[in-house]
């Protein structure tokens, strides 16, 4: 009887997990549709790289909503990914754009300067732009993770993003590794696989950011109103 119960429980968990990831992937693809359409009509080159990054603006609220849905599933055991995604999108869209847009513009300018360089290798200037762009991208992802869970002011989100990147080096390394993995998927396989695995990547991001969320909950919140729960 115990073995049967465990098997049934495992099967249920697997079924719910597959369903949850599939639905979330569909929601992410729908939210990312404007970006994908813009990417398909862009041409390569310095200006194209600049526009390529700017076109990713619709991904900011989508990613934040995906992180919100991940938390609802794993912590609240909610099995309605579409509803939680839409709730997270409604709650976080404005803040995610406010937090992510400045960082995304820095990434766009870094990409523009890197692609318009005529030198065959990475010089001092190119290295500086690469470092600045990577740092801005880390701040962007950390900021979206914070926005998806907490209702801090925008300037506080940016400050906490930088602070936690420094005091939680393992989480920062995990974030950097996830970014390298995503870039590797795009370069080695193509955008299609990235779209097909969007929900898995978002869940991996949520998992890697849990220690940061715990740190912020302990040190920078004094009560439940600081945590986004929806209504």
Distance (Å) of CA 117 to CA 43, 46, 134: 17, 9, 18
pTM: 0.87
* Cβ atoms 28, 199 nearer than 8 A: yes
Domain ranges in the chain? 2-226
Q: Which of 47-51, 106-110, 137-141 has the lowest mean pLDDT?
A: 47-51
Residues near 169 by Cβ (< 8 Å), separated by ≥ 6? none
pLDDT tens column, 44-102: 777 888 888 899 999 999 999 999 999 999 888 878 899 999 999 999 999 999 999 99
* Cβ atoms 54, 135 nearer than 8 A: no
* Cβ atoms 69, 24 nearer than 8 A: yes
What is 168-226 written as a DSSP string? -HHHHHHHHHHHHHHHHHHHHT-HHHHHHTHHHHHHHHHHHHHHHHHHHHHHH--SGGG
Grouping H, G, I as helix, E, B as strand and the rest as coil, residue 121 is coil
Task: Check whether 122 has a pLDDT greater than 70.
Answer: no
What is the C-alpha to C-alpha distance for residues 93 and 100, in angstroms, rounded to an integer? 10
Query: Is residue 227 very low, low, confident or very high in pLDDT (cuts 50, 70, 90)?
Result: low
Distance (Å) of CA 37 to CA 23, 29, 41, 52, 219: 21, 11, 7, 11, 42
Work out the percent of the chain whose per-residue pLDDT is above 70.
88
Q: What residues form DSSP beta bridges with 150?
A: 227
- What phi, psi does 120 have (nearest 5°)? -70, -30
pLDDT tens column, 155-187: 999 999 999 999 999 999 999 999 888 878 777
Tokens representing 179 are 């970014």
* Cβ burial 167-190 (10 Å sphere, 16+ → b, else e): ebeebbebbbebeeebeebeeeee
Q: Which of 14-23, 31-40, 77-86, 187-196 has the lowest mean pLDDT?
A: 187-196
* Cβ atoms 88, 65 nearer than 8 A: yes
Q: Give the residue carrying structure tokens 């968990």.
A: 13
* Cβ atoms 140, 104 nearer than 8 A: yes
Task: Please state, rounded to an integer, the average pLDDT across all residues of the chain.
Answer: 85
Grouping H, G, I as helix, E, B as strand and the rest as coil, residue 150 is strand
Q: What residues form DSSP beta bridges with 227?
A: 150
pLDDT of 94 reads: 94
Work out the percent of the chain whose per-residue pLDDT is above 90.
55
Average pLDDT over residues 8-12: 67
């Amino acid at each position: 009887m115990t073995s049967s119960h465990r098997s049934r429980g495992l099967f249920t968990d697997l079924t719910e997990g597959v369903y949850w990831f599939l639905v979330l992937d569909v929601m992410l693809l729908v939210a990312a549709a404007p970006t994908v359409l813009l990417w398909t009509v862009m041409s390569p080159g310095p200006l194209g790289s600049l526009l390529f990054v700017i076109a990713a603006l619709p991904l900011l609220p989508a990613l934040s909503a995906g992180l919100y849905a991940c938390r609802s599933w794993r912590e609240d055991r909610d099995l309605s990914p579409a509803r939680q995604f839409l709730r997270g999108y409604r709650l976080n869209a404005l803040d995610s754009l406010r937090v992510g847009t400045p960082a995304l513009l820095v990434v766009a300018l870094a990409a523009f300067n890197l692609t318009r360089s005529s030198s065959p290798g990475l010089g001092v200037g190119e290295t500086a732009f690469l470092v600045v762009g990577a740092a801005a991208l880390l701040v962007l992802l950390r900021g979206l993770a914070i926005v998806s869970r907490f209702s801090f002011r925008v300037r506080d989100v940016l400050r906490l993003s930088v602070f936690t990147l420094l005091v939680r080096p393992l989480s920062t390394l995990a974030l950097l590794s996830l970014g390298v993995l995503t870039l590797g998927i795009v370069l080695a396989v193509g955008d299609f696989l990235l779209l097909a695995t969007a929900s898995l990547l978002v869940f991996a991001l949520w998992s890697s950011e849990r220690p940061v969320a715990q740190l912020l909950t302990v040190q920078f919140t004094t009560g439940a109103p600081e945590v986004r729960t929806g209504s």
